[in-house]
Structure 1
Amino acid sequence: MFTRYFGALLRAFLVVLLVATPSLLEPGGSDSAPIILLVALFSGWLVFSEYTADYPSLVEFRDAPPFNRLRFGSLLLTVLILSIIQRGTVYPTAMSQLFTSVGTVVGNVLDFPFSPVRLLLLSLPENATPVEILTVQRTAGLAYLVSLIALCFFALVLWVNGWPRQRHAFNVWTNLPTFDPTGGGDVVSRLNRDANFNVALGVLLPFLIPAVLQMASGLIDPIDASKPQTLIWSVAAWAFLPASLLMRGIATARVAHMIADKRRRSQHREDGDELHAFG
């Protein structure tokens, strides 16, 4: 019980740190610090409640590490790197200069026609300065690189380690709290359909988000390079959401495969018992 509560408290602290990082590292401080603190505390409380409850209501794959650890780690790393880069524009350090240089190289490599980075740059306002365009290109390239690395690492864990390898049977209810096994229809078919939808949406989102932003450019301006926190969260979400959906789709397909495989083994065992009984 102590280990469970300590783990939940640690996760809550890390979530609070994630939400507060851009504000803490913003040059000159932030005027919205009280609101950010409130959001951070609420997010931490939500995570603590989910990980101390017997049955979660929102967090998926709670008992199937390292799925959530990998997703959260990639988001935290993305936000931290982008925050360091933004702080380095006013207070340069060796680390900020390193991330800036890497981001410039990666951004240039990923900025080719019809690429997600190029489409994101095209969604910027027409009055964006060359410095702002370079800033978005740099941050977008780094954020996309971190998400791709996290996705590849999860695929490697799935292939090498046979995720989700557990000591006990995989509990669909606790690991997929938003999925209702009694909702009608075959569970495997529904899981595969859900997996295909998540994979398709994850592939399309990097292209759809810039298109939506460009269509709504007259109403909103979510990617404002002159506002560090807005830029950090916008680019982080643009890179993280597609990768997260792809990982969820792959994980859901894996669960469907496990259930189907278990059914086949049970059927073979029953057939063997019948042959033995009549033999």
Structure 2
Amino acid sequence: MIPGIHSETVQIVALAAIFAFALTTFEYASTYPGLVEFREAPPFNRIRFVSLFFTVFLLSAVARHSTDPSTFTAFVGAVGNLIGNAIDIPYSPVRLIVLMLPDNATAAEIISLRMAAGMAYLISLISLAVFIITLRITGWPKRKGGFNVWVNLPMFDPTAGGDVVERLERDARFNVALGFLLPFLTPAVIKAASGVFGSVAITNDQTMIWTITAWAFLPASLFMRGIAMQRVATLISEQRARNSSRAEGERLAPA
């Protein structure tokens, strides 16, 4: 979709896609824990994948509009421009993203970056809203049978010490807090690093697309992970309460 892409770049992307396909296939075919979290608790990973896909796809449409305009790319750009202008206020994430541009950036580059940031931010908010609505409607993650913490949280060790519920709630709060701060911290870190390593070529289409995608997707993903871990902690607490009530009832039952 992006103009001016070298043929070797296409081959590298295809090779990376094949590796990603193989990793996903092996992960989901295995019965033991791997690297993917919430593997048996859809649609957590499906929502994240769809969000990532649409972010890259629509940002590519925004970049394509400058060389090959169409009704679709114009519509996507108009929506992104509307959202970008609406939230481009002092100290907002979009304003910080725009400030990443070098001092000699043109007005067209500023508008394009603000447009892309607005579109990516909108997609991240929609994906987060969809996940919360799905959680409320379906009672996620306990839809069919039990929830296997070992398989769905392979990086979480229940035997590491301390109460499992407290650790899950602590991790959930940390993920939510990091997800909230990341859109503000990332532009500041990149801007500070540019003074040491040189300015980032954010005006390049590929760099812009993947930078803005990571900037919008990672915080939303952390938010969803924090909400999911809090939900798992709540399920464990509820199961403990039911087991305690059942044990108390059996103890008080007449012989």
TM-score (norm 2): 0.95
Aligned to 1:188: 165
Moved more, 26-35 or 48-57: 26-35
Helix, strand or coil: the match of 2:139? coil
**Aligned in 2, Cα 1:223/1:249: closer, same or farther, shift over 3 Å?**
farther
1:223 Cα deviation from its structure 2 partner: 5.2
Aligned to 2:145: 168
2:2 to 2, 22, 26: 26
Identity of aligned residues (%): 51
Q: Could you tell me how far apart the structure 1 residues matched to 2:209 and 2:106 are?
A: 18
- Deviation digits for residues 126-184 of structure 1 (CA, Å, limit 9, x no counterpart): 12111111111000000000000111111111122211132211000111111111111
User: Does residue 1:43 correspond to 2:20, yes or no?
Assistant: yes
Aligned to 2:41: 64
Aligned to 2:183: 206
Q: Could you tell me how far apart the structure 1 residues matched to 2:199 and 2:138 are?
A: 43
CA RMSD of superposed structures (Å): 1.3
1:34 Cα deviation from its structure 2 partner: 2.6
Aligned to 2:216: 239
Helix, strand or coil: the match of 2:185? helix
Q: Could you tell me how far apart the structure 1 residues matched to 2:247 and 2:179 are?
A: 40
Helix, strand or coil: the match of 1:166? coil
Q: Could you tell me how far apart the structure 2 residues matched to 1:202 and 1:83 are?
A: 25
Q: Could you tell me how far apart the structure 2 residues matched to 1:158 and 1:142 are?
A: 24
Q: Could you tell me how far apart the structure 1 residues matched to 2:46 and 2:20 are?
A: 16
Aligned to 2:202: 224
Aligned to 1:99: 76
1:199–1:245 contact (8 Å) kept in structure 2: yes
Q: Which segments of 5 or more consecutive residues in structure 2 lack a partner in the other structure?
A: none
Q: Could you tell me how far apart the structure 2 residues matched to 1:88 and 1:125 are?
A: 23
1:123 to 100, 108, 120: 100
**Aligned in 2, Cα 1:237/1:199: closer, same or farther, shift over 3 Å?**
same
Q: Could you tell me how far apart the structure 1 residues matched to 2:128 and 2:138 are?
A: 15
Q: 1:276 is matched by which residue type in structure 2?
A: A
Aligned to 1:88: 65
Q: Could you tell me how far apart the structure 1 residues matched to 2:129 and 2:91 are?
A: 22
1:110 Cα deviation from its structure 2 partner: 1.2
**Aligned in 2, Cα 1:208/1:149: closer, same or farther, shift over 3 Å?**
same
TM-score (norm 1): 0.87
Q: How does 1:141-160 map to 2 (within 5 A)?
A: 141-160=118-137
Aligned to 1:133: 110
Aligned to 1:3: none
**Aligned in 2, Cα 1:104/1:137: closer, same or farther, shift over 3 Å?**
same
Moved more, 114-123 or 133-142: 114-123
Moved more, 57-66 or 119-128: 119-128
1:222–1:234 contact (8 Å) kept in structure 2: no
Higher-RCO chain (CA-CA 8 Å, sequence separation at least 6)? 2
Q: Could you tell me how far apart the structure 2 residues matched to 1:222 and 1:192 are?
A: 37
Helix, strand or coil: the match of 1:57? coil
